[in-house]
A and B are shown apart, each in its own frame.
Chain A
């Protein structure tokens, strides 16, 4: 049904707006309960907060045309007062005082919205009646969605279930808490982060862990007895316990396989193997969520029982880890992120906020591929968080999900943390409003002192088809020839790569001068595709070699093949040639070049002996056994030459294959083979 122009649904209730804000604040306060001293009555507090959140969620889901709209407002306000009273009964210092003040502010804001809501109700009253009648006539109950399975990419599952509410961990930590100060954005590979022990300790408490659950866990480890397996209990309890066990197996495998999915730069991307591997994760996801579906019980008489509460199970699974566990965090984010509903995404964000920073990268990977569309809005909201690590995570996820929203990025271009600014700048490269994005980037291009931010802005400008980006990269590299210390090694390499894939014929000389025999520079030369670089690279592998390391020689030889396509690959033990393992024998190379030099036109850009076009880049990305590090560079080349984000390497292989197929089909005759990129 086409909505009426005067539909009351179009006028949002002030109370609804306020309820949504209030819910966010109450959830935040609830997260703080974990840090209160052990002696506080957590179950009572959680119960009070949970009923408050239920009331606020009901109000947020309500609208002006609902007859009980004001009642829901009254209920929510009452629940807030109740939660405040429960909290106030604990005289526990500054932390509780701050919580009470925030609750009071929320309560006051909700009360203030009452009058505005009444005004709005009066304004739309006649429309409400008409719309109500029209809706009743057209209303159809939704058909239950058939359970489908995942192929290559996860499916969005709709489960028959209760809403998830306030499912957060409020158990007191044992004897440490995470650093509450805004720390550096955590490198997911760094496991050395020290814990801050400035917990607000209750002086009467022993700081050692006497947690009953922990004792039970230890006993279970020592004295497991399968005859006591809960699945052997008669009836529904046993059935559910048995399904929970299977569900647990699925979650464990999702977590374990997710850890194994990451590739290091030297590792090869093998399409069929990786697709089969990723399908195993998806099979586990499907099986896990199937355990939530109803079944007929062995108690008989057509008794139909709802399956395992998988969402609760995955939240528990991620919490009862005895150590920081990236796999469990991935499983939680991935599973919750593949179940339809806003509540699942709220739950995963709450859990994310409580999680250890070392698990953030794993959760980002999960959220990048999870299917729930509500993740986009949740990540946009997370970019306002005060923790820069979460902001960075949210920007990474939005980038991977190709969210296309650059308003958030604009707001973050002046963030105090350079990692955030760099991500914001990169995000602007995908903006649909080219002029506004370029204008926003200009101050960064002119004044930014942090290299990583400036380079990100240069790349974004190039994505937006600005020649300014290439010019700046060229100028900075030329300056570095005179004053090498102005560029760090990583920045220099990145700028060389950028210039190699987007520069013109005139940049060949500069790139050759910048090449000092190092591996990354050699790779950049290979990507640039200048015929004149062949002699430079041949010199690098010919004695006396200044840089005799095997890695450097191999990189030079790889670059030679990338330009010339010479058949210099080594033969593997199985008799096939390894495309990415090249002979470095200079005599053989020189002989080949003497025989073949004439067929290369110095005016053209080459890739594997053929005039280059982006199709060559796409085809190489589709090739089997490409080292992961090279794929990153190929993806950069594609993004910068096409001016759009084409492929994201954190995506599942099936999604990557689809993206590349679409990109290939869209190219048409836009690129003349052998022509240099034109900006």
Chain B
């Protein structure tokens, strides 16, 4: 076991707290809304957005507004479960989109952490905080860094992710490569946005345990001549299976893009048993990019807390367009099979 989960905080298109979001996902309340912005086919672009943020709020300021309340919720939750002082300055490790996107800016990480601190009013240990800019698998990297901070003596660390595709130039960029789902591009994805944090530490009053984090590289993703047959993801799932037993519950980040689904299906065919419960919450939330790992983790742990998790182990698979693959495994020792999910 790597660390205990002490607190959760999340917000996304289906709710503004972990509870709301989780039950919104459980009830499949997905509802993409149309924007005035149109795609290359002249159709309105659909997006799953988070309420309370003006359409003109883009980029770093939008990420701040998404992340700050999620972090506040997670820290308040952790304070209620531990005896850490209220003025303890918590270090944060944050997964962000890879550099080079149209909404990128210089020193995004530093500015964002400072902005989150200012926006939330929380005591944040800026010196030990850091960001990981590797899209979805960035959350796996962030957890490893968070575990190092804990090993260095910090009682708590908040590991999270935030992302938003609600940006005119980002949407244009996605459209230019046919990645937006529409009536004429059905294999694209519906963009979303969100943020989540998991506060890690050590406590008897834990919500779950972080049991495994693995990272790999899918080399075929970077080589156009090489077919992607999911070797890296297969290896990640197989290794985790050896350690954790059968995967009772796997949450993927498949977003509707054909190559992502094919890769997961191939890896799943080789490694998952027939009754593995597989969730694809992008179907409910839209693609939440670098926030995926943290959001899915928060939702899975909340489902356990509400006694409607699907298995003792929850394994989250994460993939980026740049060859990175990540796997995160959580465990709820108190899980019982008693309830229908």
Contacts and interface: CB of A to CB of B under 8 A. Distances in A.
Interface of A: 147-149, 151-152, 226-227, 229, 231-243, 245-246, 249-250, 253, 275, 279-280, 283-284, 286-287, 290-291, 293-298, 300-302, 307
Interface in B273-316: 306-308
B52 A234 contact: yes
A242 B19 contact: no
Contacts of B33: 226, 229, 231
B20 interface: yes
Contacts of B339: 151
Given A234-B52, A297-B52, A286 B23 contact: yes
B57 interface: yes
22 contacts: A148-B307, A149-B23, A149-B306, A152-B340, A226-B35, A229-B33, A231-B49, A231-B51, A234-B52, A238-B54, A246-B24, A250-B29, A253-B27, A280-B27, A287-B23, A290-B15, A290-B24, A293-B17, A296-B73, A298-B65, A298-B69, A302-B72
A300 B307 contact: no
A290 B70 CA distance: 16
Contacts of B65: 298, 300
B27 A238 contact: no
Nearest to A307: B20
From A250, A253, A279, A300, residue with most partner B Cβ within 10 Å: A300
Contacts of A253: 27
Contact of B55 (A232, A240, A286): A232
B52 A302 contact: no
Nearest to B121: A301
A296 B69 contact: yes
A279 B28 CA distance: 12
Given A149-B23, A287-B26, A290-B15, A238 B34 contact: no
B31 A238 contact: no
A238 B340 contact: no
B250 interface: no
Interface size range of chain B in the complex: 35 or more
Contacts of B52: 231, 233-239, 242, 297-298
Contacts of A236: 52
A90 to B, nearest CB: 42
From A151, A242, A287, residue with most partner B Cβ within 10 Å: A287
A553 B19 CA distance: 56
Contacts of A231: 33, 49, 51-52
Contact of A295 (B34, B66, B69, B340): B69
B51 A243 contact: yes
B53 interface: yes
B232 interface: no
Nearest to B19: A290
A300 B68 contact: yes
A239 B306 contact: no
B15 A243 contact: yes
A612 to B, nearest CB: 33
A238 B51 CA distance: 6
A307 B17 CA distance: 10
Contacts of A284: 27
Given A246-B31, A298-B66, 13 more contacts: A231-B49, A236-B52, A243-B20, A246-B20, A250-B29, A279-B340, A284-B27, A293-B20, A296-B69, A296-B73, A298-B53, A302-B72, A302-B122
Contacts of B36: 227
B16 A295 contact: yes
Nearest to B26: A283
Given A235-B52, A242-B50, A296 B17 contact: yes
B203 interface: no
A106 to B, nearest CB: 43
From A241, A279, A294, A296, residue with most partner B Cβ within 10 Å: A296
The 5 closest A-B pairs by CB, nearest first: A242-B51, A239-B52, A231-B51, A287-B27, A238-B52
A482 to B, nearest CB: 56
A232 B122 contact: no
Nearest to B338: A151
B73 A232 contact: no
Contacts of B122: 302
From B24, B28, B35, B122, residue with most partner A Cβ within 10 Å: B24
Contacts of A151: 307-308, 339-340
B156 interface: no
B241 interface: no
Contacts of A227: 35-36, 55
B76 interface: yes
Nearest to A308: B20
From A152, A275, A301, residue with most partner B Cβ within 10 Å: A301
B15 A291 contact: yes
B120 interface: yes
B52 to A, nearest CB: 3
Contacts of B16: 239, 242-243, 295-298
Contacts of A296: 9, 16-17, 69-70, 72-73, 76
